[in-house]
């Protein structure tokens, strides 16, 4: 991996393997905004939100989940990119995100079994393995095992969505293979129990991710970035391990990947919110940094670490350790101008009100609700309210989900006519 002549700081530019240059090493990591309009295209509020982040000075903005298939949503109100029908809205979104010189990448995703049952769609996954979430399990249907035709169709959808993102002015895509979504489900032996060429060995379990990356890289222009989001581990006994992550990065090395972002966890073990069943490495900021340092020994592309970073000294520590990019999510939901603020006051450390719920799944859902509360305020031109009570944020999200679930089901019925 190439390094700057001077030892880099979070504000140093970064040249990617494809030759594109990020103006600095501070990235807005993906957060699920659920702010699509009635057509499941980017809304004016979503476009306004990204203009706000662009003005905040991050060198890279990665969108929240954009779905490659309208039948497979991570939640209500999600953006779907499967045709060019609403191209002008996507172009406006790209323009807003790039308006201050940042790179703007679309995060492409398929939820697999992690699709809420309230959306009323059939769920499919590598294997028919249900989510285990205690009292919350009923919110997700038992998936059916994907056929060979299903798998091929998913590959084609990722490639088509990447081409559309390029067409509408984004500068890259990030393929989401973390957090227990479909590609992550293929990688984990807990959720991938197949006995065909898509299951068993790690090479087989990684095959779908590898073939999607190859397909996207071959389809888009050389200067268009292709990134992957990967779990450093999924924090479940017998699941995708840190050693597995190292081996998958080695498989990605020759494929022209520009960045691998390392995160961790899933709905069942929400490590990405600072919680996991085994508790390792999660008590501090940059809680995936330990894993990243280990994976950096085999990675030939720049790495990005996301997870709890909200202080400049921690961001500097990440870059000092040889990790190319510092990904931030919640911190930029609370203070969207944080990169600019840090230039004059590196002591600023935005944070949400602590959550004291003992149930880890409930705490994770509440955390996401609190983040979405901030995003909604920012999209209206307001300042964040990090002290919002998690109970109130949960009630807001429950009401919003009900309305958007109904709207989504109505939209899908119209599509079927």
Q: What is the CATH number of the domain that holds 86?
A: 3.20.20.70
Q: Which of 163, 201, 154 is nearest to 182 (CA)?
A: 154
- How crowded is residue 391: how many other Cβ atoms within 10 Å of its Cβ? 12
Does residue 383 fall inside a structural domain? Answer: no
Residue 268's pLDDT is what? 67
Residue partners of 371: CB distance under 8 A and separation at least 6: 31, 329, 330, 333, 352
**Number of domains the chain contains:** 1
Q: What is d(CA 192, CA 128) in angstroms, rounded to the nearest whole number?
A: 9
Does residue 158 contact residue 68 with C-beta atoms inside 8 Å? yes
What's the pLDDT tens digit per position in 295-348? 999 999 999 998 889 999 999 999 999 999 999 999 999 999 999 999 999 999
* CA atoms lying within 13 Å on the CB side of residue 207: 15
* First-last CA distance in the chain: 52
Does residue 397 fall inside a structural domain? Answer: no
**Burial level of 184, CB count in 10 A (0-12/13-18/19+)?**
buried
- How crowded is residue 354: how many other Cβ atoms within 10 Å of its Cβ? 6
CA 174 from chain center: how many Å?
Answer: 8
Residue 275's pLDDT is what? 41
Q: Which of 339, 344, 298 is nearest to 322 (CA)?
A: 298
What are the angstrom distances between the C-alpha of 259 and each of 97, 227, 255? 19, 5, 11
Residue partners of 43: CB distance under 8 A and separation at least 6: 35, 36, 37
Residue 270's pLDDT is what? 56
What are the angstrom distances between the C-alpha of 152 and each of 83, 119, 142, 278, 341? 18, 24, 22, 36, 46
Does residue 378 fall inside a structural domain? Answer: no
Site of tokens 């995708």: 240
Token duo for residue 180: 């227990």
Strands (DSSP E) contained in 246-324 are 259-263, 303-306
- Structural domain boundaries enclosing 227: 14-354
Residue 7's pLDDT is what? 81
Q: What is d(CA 102, CA 51) in angstroms, rounded to the nearest whole number?
A: 11
Does residue 7 fall inside a structural domain? Answer: no
Does residue 57 contact residue 100 with C-beta atoms inside 8 Å? yes
Token duo for residue 411: 């939209």
Does residue 414 fall inside a structural domain? Answer: no
Kindly report the pTM of this predicted structure. 0.93
Residue 190's pLDDT is what? 93
What are the angstrom distances between the C-alpha of 303 and each of 91, 138, 287, 387, 407? 28, 37, 15, 32, 39
Does residue 319 fall inside a structural domain? Answer: yes
Token duo for residue 151: 């798998």
Residue 135's pLDDT is what? 73
Token duo for residue 124: 């499919």
In the predicted model, residues of the chain with pLDDT beneath 50 are 1-5, 271-283
Does residue 33 fall inside a structural domain? Answer: yes
Does residue 393 fall inside a structural domain? Answer: no
């Amino acid at each position: 991996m190439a390094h700057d002549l001077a030892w880099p700081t979070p504000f140093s530019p970064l040249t990617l393997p494809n030759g594109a240059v990020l103006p600095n090493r501070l990235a807005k990591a993906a957060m699920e905004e659920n702010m699509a309009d009635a057509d499941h295209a980017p809304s004016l509020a979503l476009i306004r939100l990204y203009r706000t982040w662009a003005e905040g000075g991050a060198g890279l903005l990665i969108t929240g989940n954009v779905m490659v298939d309208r039948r497979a949503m991570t939640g209500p109100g999600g953006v779907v990119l499967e045709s060019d029908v609403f191209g002008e809205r996507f172009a406006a979104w790209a323009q807003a995100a790039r308006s201050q010189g940042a790179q703007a990448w679309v995060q492409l995703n398929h939820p697999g079994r992690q699709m809420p049952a309230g959306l009323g769609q059939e769920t499919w996954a590598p294997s028919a393995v249900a989510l285990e979430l205690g009292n919350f399990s009923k919110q997700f249907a038992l998936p059916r095992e994907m056929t060979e035709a299903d798998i091929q169709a998913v590959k084609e959808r990722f490639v088509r969505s990447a081409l559309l993102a390029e067409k509408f002015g984004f500068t890259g895509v990030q393929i989401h293979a973390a957090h227990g979504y479909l590609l992550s489900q293929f990688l984990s032996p807990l959720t991938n129990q197949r006995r065909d060429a898509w299951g068993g060995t790690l090479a087989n379990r990684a095959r779908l991710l590898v073939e999607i990356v190859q397909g996207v890289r071959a389809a888009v222009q050389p200067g268009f970035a292709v990134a992957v989001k990967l779990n450093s581990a999924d924090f479940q006994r017998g699941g995708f391990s840190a050693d597995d992550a190292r081996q998958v990065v080695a498989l990605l090395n020759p494929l022209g990947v520009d960045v691998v972002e390392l995160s961790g966890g899933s709905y069942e073990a929400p490590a990405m919110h600072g919680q996991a069943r085994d508790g390792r490495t999660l008590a501090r900021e940059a809680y995936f940094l330990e894993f990243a340092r280990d994976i950096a020994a085999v990675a030939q592309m720049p790495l990005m670490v996301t997870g709890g970073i909200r202080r400049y000294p921690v961001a500097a520590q990440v870059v000092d350790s040889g990790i190319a990019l510092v990904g931030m999510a919640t911190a930029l939901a609370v203070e969207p101008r944080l990169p600019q603020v840090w230039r004059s006051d590196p002591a600023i450390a935005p944070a949400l009100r602590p959550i004291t719920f003992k149930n880890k799944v409930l705490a994770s859902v509440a955390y996401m609700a609190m983040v979405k509360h901030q995003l909604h305020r920012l999209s209206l031109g307001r300042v964040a309210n990090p002290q919002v009570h998690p109970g109130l944020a949960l009630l807001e999200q429950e009401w919003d989900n009900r309305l958007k679930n109904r709207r989504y089901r109505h939209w899908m019925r119209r599509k079927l006519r």
